[in-house]
Amino acid sequence: MKKAAVMLAPGYEEGESLFVVDIIRRGGFECDAVGLEGEQVTGCNGVTALADKVFDGSLEGYDLVVLPGGMPGAANLAANDALIEAIKKMADEGKLVASICAGPMSLDRAGLLDGRRFTCFPTRKDSIGQAGEWVDELVVRDGNVITSQGPGTTLHFAYALVDALGGDGDALRERMLYNKVLGK
């Protein structure tokens, strides 16, 4: 079974993190909420989550890592040298690396946006990924790197991650009534 890690740093964006964990699990995959600095992590809106694991410097055994936004959460992720090395290693191994909102700051620091199409929160586009091409799309996949724009695109992003892991995001959208929101 494929396995995902959603990184939780102090100041993480709650919706971009916890919804993603939930949807990946509903999609039939293992998914750990991984605390960057400890087991209890408080988000940018004051919600404290209990991480399944604490980051030990390695993402070995994961097929996907998700780096959410939120401030200062995204900056805390990007500043962690061990995490940057771990996501570089995952990308080099062809594993999936995904990020949303301001989270692509970490991908940029790791050099993973160079020469790629990506998206992020629109007001961050001028400070992230200068060596890549920002596009105004809800979710962008370029090879094994998947990015999305922000809190309002979280569900779309999460279903795309289920698809990328080999699941059926369309069936999950239907079961969760997401298609009704889209008017389908």
Residues classed as catalytic: 101
Closest C-alpha to 165, from 60, 7, 19, 20 = 20
Q: Distance between CA atoms of 30 and 15, rounded to whole angstroms? A: 19
Phi, psi (rounded to 5 degrees) for 95: -80, 165
3-state secondary structure of 5: strand
Closest C-alpha to 113, from 101, 95, 124, 97 = 97
Closest C-alpha to 66, from 23, 127, 126, 115 = 23
